Amino acid sequence: MNSNVVEVTKEYYDSSDADNFYFHVWGGEDIHIGLYASDSEPIADASVRTVATMAERLSHLPSGARVLDVGAGYGGAGRYLARKHGFHVTCLNLSLAQNERNRQMNQEQNLADKVDVIDGDFENLPFEADTFDAVWSQDAILHSGNRKRVFEEIDRVLRSGGEIVLTDPMQKSGVDKEALRPVLDRIHLESMGSVADYKAFAADLGWSLRSVDLHNHQLVDHYSRVLAELRRRENSLREHCSAEYMERMQKGLAHWIEAGKQGRLEWGILHFRKG
Ligand SMILES: C[S@@+](CC[C@H](N)C(=O)[O-])C[C@H]1O[C@@H](n2cnc3c(N)ncnc32)[C@H](O)[C@@H]1O
């Protein structure tokens, strides 16, 4: 049983507009909020810093540990984890367009034996129980219409004592849904999770909380950088994306920046352990 949001999200990420926009603006490896060291830092560099910072939480795992990336995009994190830590990574992702690019980059970077790419939905993970040593997810679970179900699925496929490291754009608890409407509309969401929601799901599953590191200002910085990049490269991006998409994206990004500045949104790294 999956939510309607799944079909809408798949259509969105598989559209040539969205695929081309994310691929070209982020640099082809990642689609998530960066940790910026300076205002002028390239989006791709800040995006890798997010991956590296999250990966520190898994640095005690041995080479060969099995990691599942849930909502893996183009698989940049998987390749990083395989290359730097020797993990075997399974990228699970709904978007066939992104999965094709992911497989191609794994071949090109000689990592195809270390990074698997599976077409699938994180509300119904196509894996046996207790398959993975860690589950990783970046800025993906927000796309679910049933986030508790995603946590339950993660719990099922993770071995006891396994690690969960995730980031997500979230709403601050108590913010009125109507105030978030323009934010939700940009990527066809019905609602957003909050830190309190995710802690509650984790507690219900008996996971222990290792750390919550919020970097809310990075959300504002990041969307401001993406908007600036879109404006700077508007002419060349027109080769890949429709004018309507870019116009809608500019408006949508402005709503995210505004909501972030008003303190309605949160973003950060959450780390749990199963059991
Ligand atoms: C903002 S992108 C992040 C991609 C990747 N985690 C990264 O950091 O580069 C959100 C991702 O979630 C994936 N996604 C959304 N809904 C999903 C679902 N129900 N099952 C699996 N993946 C999903 C999208 O296809 C997309 O790759």
pLDDT digits (tens, 9 = 90+) for 130-167: 999 999 999 999 999 999 999 999 999 999 999 999 99
Which range (104-108, 118-122, 200-204, 228-232) has the least confidence? 228-232
**pLDDT one-digit tens code per residue, 5-23:** 888 899 999 999 999 999 9
Strands 132-138 and 158-171: parallel
> Domain residues for 267?
4-273
**Strongest mean pLDDT among 81-95, 187-201, 234-248:** 81-95
Mutate to test the pocket of ligand 1, among 54, 95, 149, 218 (most ligand atoms within 8 A of CB): 95
Q: What is the pLDDT of residue 39?
A: 84
pLDDT-based confidence at residue 2 (cuts at 50, 70, 90):
low
Pocket, ligand 1, Cβ cutoff 6 A: 6, 9, 13, 30-32, 71-73, 76, 93-95, 98, 121-123, 138-140, 143-144
Beta carbons of 74 and 105 less than 8 angstroms apart: yes
Region 195-203: mean pLDDT is: 98
pLDDT, residue 10, reads 93
CA of 253 to the centre of ligand 1 (A): 18
Confidence check: pLDDT of 77 > 70: yes
State the pLDDT at residue 4: 79
Burial of 40 from C-beta contacts in 10 A (0-12 / 13-18 / 19+): exposed
Position 190 scores a pLDDT of: 83
Q: How confident is the model at residue 186 (pLDDT cuts 50, 70, 90)?
A: confident
Q: What is the pLDDT of residue 1?
A: 43
Say what the pLDDT of residue 26 is: 84
Q: What is the mean pLDDT of the chain?
A: 95
Main-chain phi, psi angles of 68, to 5 degrees: -105, 125
Which residue is closest in CA terms to ligand 1's atom 14?
A: 71
Best probe residue, ligand 1, of 19, 23, 94, 101 (max atoms within 8 Å of C-beta): 94
Q: Strand pairing partners for 89?
A: 67, 115
Residue 238 has pLDDT above 50, yes or no: yes
Q: Would you state the pLDDT for residue 156?
A: 98
Measured torsion, CA atoms of residues 238, 187, 5, 78, in degrees rounded to the nearest 10: 80
The share of the chain scoring above pLDDT 70, in percent, equals 99
Report how many domains make up the chain. Answer: 1
Of 37-46, 81-90, 184-193, the range with the highest mean pLDDT is 81-90
Q: Any idea what the CATH number is for the domain that residue 29 is in?
A: 3.40.50.150
State CA 150 to chain mean position distance.
13
The residue-averaged pLDDT of 15-39 equals 93
For residue range 223-237, what is the model confidence (pLDDT) as tens digits? 999 999 999 999 999
Burial class of residue 223 in the structure, from the number of CB atoms within 10 Å of its CB (0-12 exposed, 13-18 middle, 19+ buried): buried
What is the pLDDT, as a whole number, of residue 98?
Answer: 96
pLDDT band, very low/low/confident/very high, at 3 (cuts 50, 70, 90): low
